[in-house]
Structure 1
Amino acid sequence: MQAAQQMSETECDFAVLEQAAEWFAVLSADDVSDQERVQWQLWLAENPQHVQAWQRVELISRHFQRIPCEQRHGATQALQKKGQTRRQTLKLMTVLCSTGVLAWTTSSQLSWRQWYASYRTRVGEIKDFQLADGSHLWLNTDTAMDVSNEPDRLHLALYKGEAMLSRGKDAHYPLTLDTTFGALLAKEAQFSVFDRGGFGELAVFNGSVQVAPVASASVTVKAGQQVRFSTDEVSTARVSEQRRQAWIKGMILADDMRLSDFVDELSRYRSGYLACDPDVANLRLVGAYPLKDTERVLTALEQSLPIRINRPLPWWTSISARSA
């Protein structure tokens, strides 16, 4: 394997991650040779960035253990149909299915509130609920939320993920939705809120919502507006994006969307690693793409764009430029 190109201090280079994934596939095989182990150790010692990439691949592998073993077996069979070698597929069953107990240990990374939340969705799952007060709640992929009816208000708490709430004119009392970064207050409104890890994102489609950060003054966001908010500030409002509503219908809307941004969005609905080479990151997409079958979406992209989909492992998918 070739030496890695220069990487930033905070991110593994795409090419180096590809090398690490290839080495993971080699070392996971039953018939891995001593010479291959030595070559891997030499590659690992070449550059600290190789160690960083290897650790990233190992982490992604552990996250993939959340998938039930029968689903992992299905992924492996799919690879066999695509012409993968016997060596590539047999080793995967050893790595993935022999460690089923690990599927549950990774869940300890969630806080107890996320784990025991009354409303939850798994990766790739979208659900909708009718609440006791008549409100309609949708949960996007990998989301955890609690809902409680108090005497004078509807109280919700978003622990992770994305939710949309719709309340009509018959709502008799206001709602409070707590997030990591502050509270949202509303009565008659339709809005979505997304915990992006480092900040929250609010889009209002009908009515208005008051954003009250933990350590800052509250701001009212009106219909047609979208903001980001942290514990101490709320961004300037901009026009809300139509695509922020599309997921409740099981779609991703792309309107001149960069391929890298599309891949980031699609990856939320899949387990494992999905990324694209910077060389193709700026390709543009237009259209509506169903979330129910992400593999089908990737196949459609490969047929319509000058790209190649690479699947060295069931849980590792990368997108690169198609060879001339």
Structure 2
Amino acid sequence: MSDQPANLREQALEEAALWFASLQDEQVSEQERQAWQKWLAESVWHREAWAKVEQIDREFHQLPTQRSFQALQSAGRSRRQFLYGLAGAAVALPFAWHQRDILQAAWTPGTLHQTAVGERRQLALADGSQLWLNTNTLITVDERAARRQLFLLHGELYLQSAPETQALRINTDYGSVDMMNTELNIRLGNNSAHLAVTTGEARVQLAQDTTPVTVAKKESLAFNQTRSVLTEGISANDEAWRKGYLVAENMRLEDFLKALGRYHSQGWLKCSDAVANLRLIGHYPIADTRKVLDTLAQSLPVKVRHITPWFTLIEDNRNISHS
């Protein structure tokens, strides 16, 4: 039913995934099974979504474990990406997007550097500048050109330029960032980039706009190819990841899991609606996401269930029910 609204299709797929998770529990009640049958009978969209969830589960079980993990690693962790994966391309598209990035890197000048999901690396450039790569990041570095350039193709980096060095440019699909005697963090999203300047200033040139934007110390800029939004202040997480932490400042559990999911190499993290608005405060080590999940189970009224090798569900441990 290709003409159905995308948001309704997405909602049906999410509900199907949650029902699938609940029915894997050995303690699932007969009332829950009846509620699932009622949900299934309510709409043809529900039945189509359920069939697709079962199909993806079969496909992941047919893949060797390492390949199934790699498929999810390459896909990214956004809710929309995963749900569209459930719609029939969860196995094929991740490899296609990963190959696209690698192919783009092959045609981009410079030396290739990359990190896997959950991995972070620190590099030193020829002039002494320090470069950190966050999880699941792909860049090339070209220091032979008249203007030194980095190409950020995927992920996130933090760059601390050495003093008294020539200007350096960071290129992205959304535009370029020129910097000198500057520290900054830049992260690519699905449809935009986010820049945070810690020290000094940077100048951003959007890909389809001739007017440059100057970003000063402790300012942030969200931008795509045609528009930008400048704000005062930077997020603690623009710097904390270099030290190995994810900072939660009264963060919703659902938002926290999306952020943590970037470092989780063992599939998709999801919470039920009943616990999505629980709040977290603290510093959480990103090197061991399993340990973080265990901490959540100890500090919040939630239960962590590893449904399959690629799906972990966090839900209310006081009343696990869809009724």
* Fold conserved between structures, TM > 0.5: yes
**1:253, 1:130 → 2: CA distance?**
26
Q: Which residue of 1 aligns with 2:44?
A: 47
Structure 1 gaps of 5+ residues are: 1-6, 27-38, 73-101
Structure 2 gaps of 5+ residues are: 1-5, 26-35, 71-92
Superposed displacement of residue 19, structure 1: 2.4
Matched, 1:243 2:237: yes
- Aligned pairs for 1:221-300 within 5 A: 221-271=215-265, 272-300=267-295
Quick check: 1:157–1:178 contact (8 Å CA) kept in 2? yes
**1:115, 1:273 → 2: CA distance?**
29
Opposite residue 19 of structure 1, the aligned amino acid is W
**1:187, 1:286 → 2: CA distance?**
35
Which stretch of the first structure deviates more once superposed, 115-124 or 303-312?
Answer: 115-124
For each residue in 1:255-304, what CA deviation from the matched residue of structure 2 results, as whole angstroms up to 9, or x when unmatched?
A: 11111111000001113111111221111111110011101100100110
For each residue in 1:86-124, what CA deviation from the matched residue of structure 2 results, as whole angstroms up to 9, or x when unmatched?
A: xxxxxxxxxxxxxxxx99788435451247871101111
Is the alpha carbon distance of 1:70 and 1:61 closer, same or farther for their aligned partners in structure 2, counting shifts above 3 Å?
closer
**1:170, 1:265 → 2: CA distance?**
36
Quick check: 1:141–1:269 contact (8 Å CA) kept in 2? yes
Aligned length: 276
Q: Which residue of 2 aligns with 1:83?
A: none
**1:54, 1:298 → 2: CA distance?**
29
**1:60, 1:162 → 2: CA distance?**
31
Q: Which residue of 1 aligns with 2:104?
A: 113
Quick check: 1:213–1:231 contact (8 Å CA) kept in 2? yes
Quick check: 1:225–1:239 contact (8 Å CA) kept in 2? yes
- Determine which of 298, 303, 315 is the counterpart of 1:303: 298
- Look up the SS of the partner of 1:123 in the other structure: coil
- Look up the SS of the partner of 1:9 in the other structure: helix
Superposed displacement of residue 322, structure 1: 1.5
- Look up the SS of the partner of 2:200 in the other structure: strand
Report the TM-score, using the length of structure 1 for normalisation: 0.74
- Determine which of 149, 162, 165 is the counterpart of 1:168: 162
Is the alpha carbon distance of 1:66 and 1:113 closer, same or farther for their aligned partners in structure 2, counting shifts above 3 Å?
farther
- Look up the SS of the partner of 2:242 in the other structure: helix
Report the TM-score, using the length of structure 2 for normalisation: 0.75
Quick check: 1:153–1:175 contact (8 Å CA) kept in 2? yes
Quick check: 2:219–2:230 contact (8 Å CA) kept in 1? no
**1:199, 1:58 → 2: CA distance?**
32
Q: Which residue of 1 aligns with 2:74?
A: none
Matched, 1:177 2:176: no
- Determine which of 118, 131, 134 is the counterpart of 1:137: 131
**1:10, 1:142 → 2: CA distance?**
29
